[in-house]
Amino acid sequence: MTVAERVLFDALKRPLPRYAVAFLIFALAMALRLSIFPLDAGYPFFTFYPAVVLTAMLCGTGPTLMGIALSAIVCDLLLIPPSWAATLTYQAIASISVYAAFSIFINFIIQKSRQGSVERSLLAAIVRLADIAIISKTLKGIITSWNLEAERLFGYTASEAIGKPITILFPPDKTHEEEEIIAQVQRGESLTHFDTVRIRKDGSAVEVSVSLSPVLDLYGRITGVSKIVHDITRQRVYEEDLKLSNRNLIAAITELKRSNKELDEFAYIASHDLKEPLRGIHNYVSFLLEDYASLLDEESRNYLDRIQRLAERMTALTDCLLSLSRPGNTPIPMQTVDPNVVLNEVEEDVRPTLVSLGVKLRRAGRLPSVTGNSLRIREVFQNLIINAAKYNDKPQKWVEVGCEHTRAVPVYYVRDNGIGIPEQHRAAIFRIFKRLHEQNKFGGGTGAGLTITKKIIERHGGKIWLESTEGEGTTFYFTLMEGL
Ligand code: ADP
């Protein structure tokens, strides 16, 4: 495009210059008409048709309609006999109508084709700049178009590639693919995501995914093939990376399972074997206290008492370790469990403790059945209810057991109006032997109850969490199946 053309096209983007140019074109048409024929020689619109075409092409519909209207008025005044008179004879009306209708039709056709060319150039721009390689070729395999991404992917510029056979991109062992592709396209079929290898200008191979579709002419005949080519080298690298990380993950999980199992076995054996010498210590101290009490002074008896209590405590701790490691060792048998029945049994067991602590147990509706191990589920309810009763300093103590149906799976809960659990300790309480209080506070304990509870719940595929307000109470929530 020359500088003058560019200036003209830039000016014609604004309405005022468009109308001015239209006016000028029609004025020139008038001058031309007057210079060729005398006023009343007939052919009034002779020079206006080219003016309509030119205005429609350059200025658009509005200025063209203005030009048509102006030229019709001027023609009626001057060129349609009698000249210099605005007499609308039938003949004048007929000739102006034909001119106007024909001109509007010309304008319509031109605007349509302008729109088509805008769409075509838009499409061409999209194809040119698309970040996938888009290539078209004839049915004989000769490249006819080649976008920027094709240049980047294969290293050939458009001028180097267009006119060449597409087989310049094929490795020698894949040239048969072209015949198969063309045969398929000639049958009118498209081809999507065909993974193959192509060769760049520098001779290096590139893994690509090719999609093809036939190009049809106005009459529906197949005239060529358009081709979209994705570079999948990076995707392949990601896939390989993903496979590798999956393999590593599986290996790590297997290793973790193995070491967990070993740890459980170790804890089980250690706690089991520790029980025997502990029992011995406890028994011998008892013998000493029973048989030699009279020989011992007050201080020695106190020491022996303490040794006995410590041995008892250590026995309790090893018992906890035993029960914590036991569920991990063998698969636990599962059956349909009615937690209401389980809760009846728990209530029976914990009644003396609740009575002695002055705690009221209430049940908020029926609990839905679940697949699990009733003995273990019983342990979960028992641990949580005993804790809810123990860690309570209110005059009116209560514990509530119920189930919420707000999630995909039933969420059981044990709620109390007890002392609450400070935010910063909420994760720690699930650690083995972790107590938040001195040994003799709130009825004592080993600090293993919640660890065991969590482990049982997780072995059922469930989860445990809590909500708590210090001084107001705690709710432990848990599920007994996967799917939260
Ligand atoms: P234990 O009760 O034997 O100490 P747990 O593992 O059952 O061991 O509990 C760990 C700690 O969590 C307890 O020492 C207590 O401080 C806290 N805890 C558990 N349940 C509650 C509860 N319902 N309210 C307040 N604190 C609780």
CA 317 to centroid of ligand 1, rounded, Å? 15
Cα distance between the two ends of the chain: 66
Dump pLDDT digits (tens) for 197-248.
999 999 999 999 999 888 887 677 888 888 899 888 888 889 999 999 999 9
Answer whether residue 1 shows pLDDT above 70: no
What is the position in ligand 1's atom list of the atom closest to the CA of 418?
A: 24
With beta carbons less than 8 A apart as the criterion, state whether 476 and 413 touch.
yes
pLDDT at 265: 80
With beta carbons less than 8 A apart as the criterion, state whether 425 and 466 touch.
no
Q: Which residue among 359, 423, 429 is best mutated to probe the pocket of ligand 1, counting the most ligand atoms within 8 A of its Cβ?
A: 429
Answer whether residue 328 shows pLDDT above 70: no
Answer whether residue 86 shows pLDDT above 90: no
- Between CA 347 and CA 345 the distance in angstroms is 5
Using DSSP, state whether 475 is helix, strand or coil. Answer: strand
CA 391 to centroid of ligand 1, rounded, Å? 7
Answer whether residue 323 shows pLDDT above 80: no
CA 269 to centroid of ligand 1, rounded, Å? 27
CA 53 to centroid of ligand 1, rounded, Å? 92
CA 199 to centroid of ligand 1, rounded, Å? 69
Dump pLDDT digits (tens) for 394-426.
999 999 999 999 889 999 999 999 999 999 999
Answer whether residue 67 shows pLDDT above 90: yes
Q: Which residue among 319, 380, 384, 391 is best mutated to probe the pocket of ligand 1, counting the most ligand atoms within 8 A of its Cβ?
A: 391
Quote the percentage of the chain above a pLDDT of 70. Answer: 97
Residues with Cβ within 8 Å of 300's Cβ and at least 6 positions away in sequence, in order, are none
pLDDT bracket for residue 448 (50, 70, 90)? confident
Q: Which residue among 450, 468, 470, 474 is best mutated to probe the pocket of ligand 1, counting the most ligand atoms within 8 A of its Cβ?
A: 450
Dump pLDDT digits (tens) for 264-289.
888 888 788 888 889 999 999 999 99
Q: Which two tokens stand for residue 193?
A: 């995501």
Ligand 1: list residues with CB < 6 Å: 383, 387-388, 391, 416, 418-419, 421, 429, 434-437, 445-451, 474
pLDDT bracket for residue 325 (50, 70, 90)? confident
* pTM score of the predicted model: 0.52
